[in-house]
Amino acid sequence: MKKVKPKGSFKDSRGKLFVDCAECERGGNGSDKDKCSAGWRIKRITKGGCFVGQLMEKFEIEDANQ
């Protein structure tokens, strides 16, 4: 599967990955059975998320915006 660049997730100035809810495995578009209590309904990129989320496999982490 071809990896794509995430649109809402990014690495901050210290290199820590911020994962948008729409691009997270536990978010509305993800496949994790244990959905996040805050982002389980979010399916569109809203620039909201967290630093502990897991980026979906189809996205390339190295290509995340800075």
Per-residue pLDDT tens over the stretch 23-46: 999 999 999 999 999 999 999 999
Provide, rounded to the nearest whole percent, the portion of the chain with pLDDT above 70. 92
pTM: 0.86
pLDDT of 62 reads 72
Q: What is the dihedral of CA 12, 9, 21, 25, to 10 degrees?
A: -110
Q: How confident is the model at residue 63 (pLDDT cuts 50, 70, 90)?
A: low
| Residue corresponding to tokens 């911020």 | 18
Q: How confident is the model at residue 2 (pLDDT cuts 50, 70, 90)?
A: confident
CB 46 within 8 A of CB 60: no
